[in-house]
Structure 1
Amino acid sequence: MGKYPDAYIAYLVEFHATRDYFECHELLEEYWKEHPNDGMGDTWVGLIQIAVGQYHERRGNRRGAAKMYESAERKLSDEQLMQLGVDTRSLRAQLQVRREAVESGTSFEDIEFKLWDEELIQLCRQACDIRGLIWGTASPMKDEEIIHRHLRRDRTEVLAAREEALWKKRADRQS
């Protein structure tokens, strides 16, 4: 692993090139859960919440978006964002604008992370090139697959794991 976790670079690429905010959330949540003691937990959660906020806002769930933006603002650490190559002042200003926009009912806009680290920018652009993506692409406002990702995902494994846990819990109570 280099200076930045691969999952973080993947998150940034999804956030700025595909605008698949649900996938952003999935990528970074998996990384966060696998690295609970890296000292960045609140910042990872804050970044996840930004993606979830954008997902909700684009779908028209203004209340959910506002809650996510507010929570992200509280979770994010300026020092850790700087370590992650993010211009904190710009991001915080955009979060405030988005929160106010959802509260007043104005139209959706993508958040753009202003990155200050040229190495990180290059890594993200290289990842985009490999996948044939364009950094800074606007949200696909008519792509139902991306806009409603949570409704279309395969949850077979999650449901099976829940059922297995339920059966185990019942068996433990009976013994």
Structure 2
Amino acid sequence: MAAGELGEDAAGLGEADAGALADGLVAENGPSGTYCWELPLGGDGKLDRSALPVPSGERPAVSTAYRASELPVEETLAVILAQVLELDRVGADDDFVEWGGDSLRAVRAATQIGEALGRRLPARAVLEQPTVARLAAHLAALPADPTAPARAAAPVPAQRAVPPSADARAA
């Protein structure tokens, strides 16, 4: 039965009827559990943000052991992902999503990676290749993109002396 087919008849359903309808639903379509956290509330009933614990930048407990990056591109990716995830370090086998990465952080990571490496990288790739090692291999397999942003160049020192300002000459 499609949504909306019950129409006005649904308003007269009792709890037993609603239970019978719920029994016909696929279990995967329902919630797997319910979570309830004790959040600090202020006098007005709103969340008291100042009473929340400060997140640490330490490595959370995850399923993989830390493995340092081996290649320069992996080191660059690890630094960028650590900054995006607000962690002190990310290893070559650490999973971006397991560490708290989401679509918004993937966009930030892809943008920063593109700027740092001069490659155009879709945010989807960060989620589909969630480890530093897999992301580095993915980048190596991508064809060169002439429209990708250029690598950020180091500032070039001035070649000529700048004349002093009028105030400096008067002094």
TM-score range, shorter chain: under 0.3
| TM-score where L is the length of structure 1 | 0.24
Structure exhibiting the larger radius of gyration computed from Cα positions? 2
TM-score, L = length of structure 2: 0.25
Higher relative contact order structure (alpha carbons within 8 Å, sequence separation ≥ 6): 1
